[in-house]
Structure 1
Amino acid sequence: MESDFARFKAFYSTTSLWSGKLLGLQQFGLSNFKFDHLVHQKSLDLPWIPEGTLLGKRAEYFFKYCVEQSNNYQLLLSNLQVFKGKITKGELDFIIKEKQTNSTIHVELVYKFYIYNPSINSTEKSTILQELNKYQGPNGKDHLVRKLKHLKNHQLPLLHTNEAVELLKNHDIAVEKIKQQVCFLAHVFIPHHLWNHKFKYIHKSCIAGYYYKNAAFAKAETENTYFLPEKYAWKMTPQELPLSYSYHEVALLVNKSLERGFAPLLWMLLEDKSFERFFVVN
């Protein structure tokens, strides 16, 4: 697999799903961090991440590392659990301070993989929500609109609950002075025929590949070499892995994965040594 710096770069080069505000949610882009000095280091002391750590949790390790390594931000608190009695009300992902302005920011981190399904009909009333509703997780369980509403209605308001106010007061942090932003990072996979489509509301640079319906992939035989990266490596630049498969071999594995309810990501090595990456979904 790639070097530590490449793993780090794969995270911090991930594009925010949108710029500025979307549905009132202010984006905090990774480009805010200044750590050009890291490029000159031969190695990085990356955080140790336990094996089997979920993709979203891995992103938290990397985001925390970004804050700690940056020249322009200071980490005040991370993964702060808010309790009401013995009941957990939720968690505040990150409280950070911008050194130049001395302003404090509460950042909620989201790291997602979505497919864009143009055939989804939404019951949402607004045009923007109807469009955003077409983004869902590869397994059909994750929905962009649902996540945005959860951020607006639950995760961000948690900061202003009495319990959170008291908790932060104990850390000498005044809630009324805190700005709230979301670092919403995403890789979007689209139908092949929409490659030149102009997508509303999202960064085009978030589009990382395409997806096949399983019935279509069953007819898409090639002589190319295929790789099946583990989920933790989905964000990595496609590369040759120790295990490679022919089309027929990978098609069997794809079917088994879909039967278990998991849409696999494939890296396909082309003749010119370039890669294409795509999901196969039900």
Structure 2
Amino acid sequence: MLTTKLILGASPITATTLPAFRSPLVRALAWSCFSETLINEITTATAVIHKPRITLTAQRLNWLNALDKDDIPLKTYMEEHCNSTRLGLVFESLWHFFLLEDPNTELIAHNIPVRDGKVTLGEFDLIYYCRISQRYIHLELAVKFFLGIPNKHAPLGLDQWYGPNRADRLDRKLARLTQHQLPLAHTNAGQAVIAQLGIDHVAQELQVNGILFHANTDNAPYPSLNIEHQRGDWLSLNAFQTAQEQESWRYIEKPSWLGAEYQTATPLENKHLQMAAHKPIMLINNKQQRRFLVADDWAD
């Protein structure tokens, strides 16, 4: 289940400890920018890349509370800059809004293509300026929800974490970040793009948000992960129905995964259980804990 932590000063938050914001967008914003990450650092061929030094200070909490009372600026920004319900694009746009609004940061550019002639090598998610450290920073962003399938015949590894559709895997995602996206800034083409922005040098950071849904028998530590990473669990449809817990859980539509809240979630009905027989669905209970409900043969 998800870990619990009080918000005191600069403490990170989790899905279970989000303040009771009325606005779903403000909840998603707070979770995206200030919640516990899946990893604290990652090692590339050239450096150790850390998560951003951005915390939920009292000043930022006051800003979120004020925005919750009047979320029109956030709604307007999202309507003008994000016409998609894809979680990754919504997550990035929420970060753009935060970096534009926060007095300690300045968003320089985002989704910056890196080309070698006519060939596109990739893109930088964003570059921002931190007024506290007085540094330009290349920040890569990712948001992922993975389910763990422990392998009794192999040592613990990030290759045992799968996306709900089984097409995505945590180790592959991190390998893409370490071997391609982050090193792009050190290529001649990447350096040329940075110079075109009038910047001599960028530091690098990585923000990987998400929730890992552990099998109910999995309590093992994963050294590569943030020990405080946000946790949920997953159950097969048959185990869920046998436990007769249906009334304790509600259904979350995918666009709401970032800032889900029990009171506004959809009461669980038989049609949702039928959906789970074909593809995993996410649930939430009144403790704000998350669960994936999967077909009985999903983990086979």
1:88: which partner in 2?
A: 120
Aligned-partner residue type, residue 94 of structure 1: L
> Does the C-alpha gap of structure 1 residues 103 and 145 become closer, same or farther in structure 2, counting only changes over 3 Å?
same
Question: Does residue 239 of the first structure (1) align with residue 255 of the second (2)?
Answer: no
Distance 2:199 2:129 in 1: 11
**For 1:31, what is the secondary structure of its paired residue?**
coil
Secondary structure, in 3 states, of the residue corresponding to 1:182? Answer: strand
| 1:36 shift after superposition | 4.2
Secondary structure of the corresponding residue to residue 219 of structure 1: helix
Distance in 1 between residues matched to 2:246 and 2:146, nearest whole Å: 28
Q: State how many pairs are aligned.
A: 263
Residue 5 of structure 1 aligns to which amino acid in structure 2?
V
Partner of 1:168: 194
Of stretches 210-219 and 136-145 in structure 1, the one that deviates more from structure 2 is 210-219
SS at match of 1:267: strand
C-alpha separation in 2, matches of 1:120 and 1:147:
23
Corresponding residue to 2:208 among 164, 171, 184 = 184
Cα offset, 1:186, TM superposition = 1.9
1:13 Cα offset (Å)? 3.2
Partners of 2:175 and 2:95 in 1: CA distance: 23
Q: Answer yes or no: is 1:253 the counterpart of 2:275.
A: yes
Q: Name the SS of the counterpart of 2:274 in structure 1.
A: helix
Which of 183, 206, 209 in structure 1 is aligned with 2:229?
A: 206
- The whole-number CA distance in structure 2 between the counterparts of 1:61 and 1:242 is 23
Cα distance in 1 between the residues matched to 2:248 and 2:107? 44
Point out the more displaced range, 156-165 or 109-118.
Answer: 156-165
2:268 partner amino acid: Y
Letter in 2 for 1:228: Y
2:34–2:55 CA contact under 8 A, matched in 1: no
* Structure 2 gap segments, 5+ residues each: 1-20
The 8 Å contact of residues 111 and 186 in structure 1, kept in 2 or not, is answered as yes
TM-score between both structures, scaled by the size of structure 1:
0.81
More displaced stretch, 18-27 vs 94-103? 18-27
Q: Classify 1:73/1:198 alpha carbon distance in 2 versus 1 (closer, same or farther; 3 Å).
A: same
Please show how residues 208-223 of structure 1 align to structure 2 within 5 Å.
Answer: 208-222=231-245
1:225-236 alignment runs, 5 A limit: 226-236=249-259
Q: Residues 50 and 205 of structure 2 are in contact (CA less than 8 Å); yes or no, is this contact kept in structure 1?
A: yes
- How has the CA–CA distance of structure 1 residues 169 and 232 changed in structure 2, closer, same or farther, with 3 Å as cutoff? same
1:150 aligns with 2:176: yes
Aligned twin of 1:13: 34
Contact 2:142 2:209 in 1 (8 A): yes
Residues in 1 aligned to 2:190 and 2:246: alpha-carbon distance in whole angstroms = 57
Distance 2:142 2:169 in 1: 13
Identity of aligned residues (%): 22
Equivalent-residue separation in structure 2 for 1:33 and 1:159 (angstroms) = 28
Residues 77/54 of structure 1: CA separation in 2 closer, same or farther (3 Å cut): same
Aligned amino acid, residue 27 of structure 2: A
CA distance in 2, matches of 1:229, 1:136: 19
CA distance in 2, matches of 1:62, 1:157: 25
The 1:178–1:119 alpha-carbon spacing in structure 2 relative to 1, beyond 3 Å, is same
Q: Select the residue among 130, 135, 138 that pairs with 1:103.
A: 135
> Structure 1 residue 252: deviation in Å?
1.8
Distance 1:156 1:172, change over 3 A: same
Unaligned runs of 5+ residues in structure 1 are none
- For 2:281, the equivalent position in structure 1 comes to 264
Cα drift, residue 214 of structure 1 = 3.7
The alpha carbon displacement at 1:90 in A equals 0.7
Deviations 1:78-106 (A, max 9, x none): 11011233332111011112213321111
Cα offset, 1:182, TM superposition: 1.0
Give the aligned partner of residue 193 of structure 1: 217
Change in Cα spacing, 1:52 to 1:165, as seen in structure 2 (3 Å) is closer
8 Å CA contact 1:263–1:280 kept in 2: the answer is: yes
* 1:101-133 CA distance string (max 9 Å, x none): 3211111111111112212756xxxx7xx5222
Structure 1 residue 183: deviation in Å? 1.0
Q: Indicate the residue corresponding to 2:150 in structure 1.
A: 118
Give CA-to-partner distance per residue, 1:142-166, whole Å, 9 cap, x none. Answer: 1111111111111112112222222
Cα distance in structure 1, aligned partners of 2:211 and 2:30: 15
Contact 1:18 1:201 in 2 (8 A): yes
